A and B are shown apart, each in its own frame.
Chain A
Amino acid sequence: MKCKEGTAVLIIRVNDAFCRSCFKEYFIHKFRAMLGKNRVIFPQEKVLLAVSGGTASCSMLSQVQEGLSREAPKKLRFVPGIIYIDDGGACGRSAEERQRSNALLKSIFTETGFTYFIVSLEQVFSLPTSVLVPGTSDPDPSNPSYKQAVDQYIKEKQTLTEENVASAVAQLNIEDSAYSPEHKLALERLFSSMKTLTAKEDMLQTLRQHLILHIARENGYSKVMMGDSCSRLAVKLLSNIALGRGAALASDTGFSDPRYGDVVIVRPMRDYSSKEIAFYSRMFNVPSVFISGLDTKTHDKASIQRLTESFVTNLQFDFPSTVSTIYRTSEKLHTVMPPQSQTAEPASKCLLCLCTLDTKVDKASAFHATLVSEQLSQIKLQDPSLDAPAQSAEQCCTEGQGCGPGGCCSSNRLPSHQDLKTLLCYSCRLTIKDMVATNTLPPYIITEAEKRQKRSQMKMEISEYLLEDDEEDGGTAAL
């Protein structure tokens, strides 16, 4: 269709027929255009590529490889690293399977010559609590704008030698796939305390994000590239709506996700439909490894995410414009950001997903209606926020249905459902509600939760003496 010479070998989007070389050009051009248009990747920046082994992320990897190689007319200008997270422990895969897929991926990674990290999900149990605190992106006035940065780099390039670049790339490769048996057990317990597959998938996603964030921060990576394709993002958008994440839709599915502060997540593959990616990886032999996940081979209604995926795929069959319409809708959304101040309390962000809390109870909102229903269907406790565990345990047992606000199984010391709930956004609350025992959560989450609890209690005690909301180290007596 484009060059009108070569024979067409494939058809995309009903009308567009491409020959082999035009398709390759088209594919590469889209990737570059996406990065160039959005101008978030600065030259010489360290970028972490999150690879899951599937075709989309491996295509992304090969695109980056091509872009950095010498022959390309306009080289991409950043320093890449690769990260792969082995979540076999959560998905129930055996140790040999995991080793096998790790080895396969290792061979793919070593071929690219980039620094790579192979991390197992069990590492989550040794994370520090700083993961849950959004770092401040340095608003350094000396930080140049994108155009200036690029010009500067081109001038400096004359002085940069080959050796410098090569040494920057060939750093220490970390393969941390070893994990201790206690961590493995802890992970299994965590995931078996989730009653529904929906909650499991949500928790897996959250833990993965935290781990990637941690590795990125530790090694000085300021950007992370995820390989989500258009189709995958459309499904994500719909399932997020079903999960109650309306407030964070734009960050979850948009091009850049700034909620972690110092590390920005970008999604350069969001313009590609899964068909295009499949054709590309087939025709140009992109090496990829299929690794089964939590919802592989489950039936349609096993979880909300799985249901949405089959719904969108079926609808796409009858109405071919479904995915692109959903994609365009997601482009028009944005996240409501409260005014950014230097000392913004981290407590106003959700503990797990780090997006702004959307649980301010407006009058006449769905959230208000939910609270009203909960109250009306139960005997009113004397003081629902401070109910003694003994009383609530009694309540739960006589009801015989659904846990009330105080978790049945929580012991006195560990955070009960009620405490955790106040720190979470609407949809994370639903995930935790599906959890039987919150003490199986990784220690960094529990400690951070307790810390925030204490801080908010402190704040309440001294609230009449605080002058403004964002006082540093609160507690200045009014004069």
Chain B
Amino acid sequence: MPVQCSNCVQRRAVLKRPKTGHSLCKDCFFWAFEEEIHQTIVSAGLFNRGETVAIGASGGKDSTVLAHVMKVLNERYDYDLNLLLLSVDEGITGYRDDSLETVKRNQQQYELPLKIVSYEELYGWTMDAIVKKVGLKNNCTFCGVFRRQALDRGAMMLKVDKICTGHNADDVAETVLMNVLRGDIARLRRCTSISTASDGEGAIPRCKPLKYAYEKEIVLYAYFKKLDYFSTECIYSPNAYRGHARAFLKDLESIRPSSIIDVIHSGETLSIKEGVKMPVQGTCSRCGYISSQALCKSCVLLEGLNRGLPKLGIGKHHRLHGKILAQEPLTEQEEKKLKAVDF
């Protein structure tokens, strides 16, 4: 017996929404999905009129859907935004070069200008080279830190006002869980905010318009709209700690579909005791970007890579910051600790 769409009741339902369990027809689903993102944008006041916004595009489903929806909403509700695509090339063969092709296709399909920045030109290191030095376990740290900076630098080159990324509800929920498991109180407090604080010190605010959209719904949307995206996992991802949090979240979702939003709700409503030590925001003394220590993380990581001490950025190393700044050589003992593990 065919089920009718629960919204328009006229057309036949073709899918069941993972988020609420209602059955909807194609057009009602598109409309509901886009409306929710519009509500998110409006109620959080993410954008102002006339701004230039860079969309972080990786060629994957999140950023493709984000680009598409932003374009649609920009026209439908007249946000008066100037949109463009910004992509980062980490230098992972077999993964990133393929996805970049997808981004180039997106550029033509959506008629948005595109800029690509690469690790090679910014730092002098590709991810493949980094993994050869660091090993398979801690490399996500490097990639993530470098990518943040790369996005910022690319955005500054293009002179945009805001960056938006395709982080979806599953990502935010995973981050909450991971921060609890790792005991990272500072991040736990900040990770559920929909946009980073804009201090005006050369830091461009980043926001997540897809924060309340389930990953499954994003895939459903892309599937029914026949959007073109690249769907392979990063080849280095199986060893990441985040994988555990992700598996847990997937199991939770199978027991109770609303748990993803529940986790985000918990993350938003929990509060930290006063008197807990929190990092204070300052600037890096070498490159001038935001940092809570004397040297920003990417400077530390780069220093480690360049000196052949890849473990410099992993673990606690505050005491060495002074030495690095002053360009002093490290003692033999310190060097031994920081060298890479031989396989």
Contact = CB atoms under 8 A, between A and B. Distances in A.
A422 to B, nearest CB: 17
Interface in B5-24: 6-9, 16-17, 19-24
Given A249-B266, A402-B22, 20 more contacts: A241-B180, A246-B265, A246-B266, A246-B270, A247-B266, A247-B269, A301-B255, A329-B183, A332-B272, A334-B271, A335-B271, A358-B269, A364-B40, A366-B261, A367-B265, A370-B258, A370-B261, A399-B22, A401-B23, A430-B262
A300 B39 CA distance: 37
Interface stretch (A42-50, A175-183, A303-311, A464-472): A303-311
Contacts of B273: 250, 332-334
Lowest 9 A-B CB distances belong to which pairs? A246-B266, A364-B44, A244-B262, A369-B212, A325-B183, A377-B22, A246-B270, A246-B269, A247-B269
A401 B183 contact: no
B20 A402 contact: yes
A315 B40 contact: no
B252 A307 contact: yes
Contacts of A377: 6-7, 17, 20, 22, 24, 32
Nearest to B217: A373
A124 interface: no
B20 to A, nearest CB: 5
Nearest to A302: B255
B268 A398 contact: no
Q: Specify which of B8, B269, B276 lies most central, judged by the most chain A CB atoms within 10 Å of its CB.
A: B269
A363 interface: yes
B27 interface: no
Given A196-B256, A241-B176, A326-B180, A334 B272 contact: yes
A375 to B, nearest CB: 9
B67 interface: no
Contacts of A307: 248, 251-252, 255
Contacts of B22: 377-378, 399, 401-402
Interface residues of B, number: 58
B7 A378 contact: yes
Given A196-B256, A244-B266, A246-B270, A400 B3 contact: yes
B263 interface: yes
A430 B258 contact: yes
A358 B267 CA distance: 12
Interface of A: 196, 198, 237-238, 240-247, 249-250, 300-301, 303-304, 307-308, 311, 315, 322, 325-326, 328-329, 332-336, 358, 363-370, 372-374, 376-379, 398-402, 426-427, 430
A477 B39 CA distance: 40
Given A304-B256, A376-B36, A400-B3, A242 B262 contact: yes
Contact of A332 (B181, B244, B259, B276): B276
A237 B270 CA distance: 12
B290 to A, nearest CB: 24
Nearest to A335: B271
A364 B268 CA distance: 11
18 contacts: A196-B255, A242-B259, A242-B263, A246-B266, A246-B267, A247-B271, A249-B266, A300-B251, A301-B251, A301-B254, A304-B259, A333-B271, A366-B261, A370-B258, A374-B20, A377-B20, A378-B7, A399-B6
Contact of B36 (A237, A311, A332, A372): A372
A427 B262 contact: yes
A373 B29 CA distance: 11
Given A241-B266, A246-B267, A369-B212, A399 B23 contact: yes
B36 A329 contact: no
Nearest to B24: A377
A370 B43 CA distance: 13
B107 interface: no
Contact of B255 (A250, A303, A325, A358): A303
- Determine the main DSSP class of A at the interface with B: helix
Interface in B165-203: 176-177, 180-183, 185, 188, 194
Contacts of B211: 369
B43 A364 contact: yes
Contacts of A326: 180-181, 183
Given A369-B36, A399-B23, A241 B44 contact: no
Nearest to B244: A315
A200 to B, nearest CB: 13
B255 A328 contact: no
Nearest to B3: A400
A49 B269 CA distance: 31
A244 B256 CA distance: 12
A469 B272 CA distance: 28
B69 interface: no
Given A244-B266, A247-B269, A329 B188 contact: yes
B332 to A, nearest CB: 27
Nearest to A403: B21
A241 B267 CA distance: 8
A11 to B, nearest CB: 24
A325 B179 CA distance: 10
B266 A379 contact: no
B74 interface: no
A401 B36 contact: no
B302 interface: no
A379 B9 contact: yes
A429 B4 CA distance: 28
A369 B194 CA distance: 12
Nearest to B262: A244
A303 B4 CA distance: 31
B3 A366 contact: no
B17 A366 contact: no
A358 B44 CA distance: 19
A243 B255 CA distance: 11
B239 to A, nearest CB: 12
Contacts of A250: 273
B35 interface: yes
Nearest to A246: B266
B53 interface: no
Nearest to A315: B244
B72 to A, nearest CB: 16
B267 A402 contact: no
A373 B266 contact: no
B255 A198 contact: yes
B85 interface: no
A335 B19 CA distance: 29
A372 B211 CA distance: 14
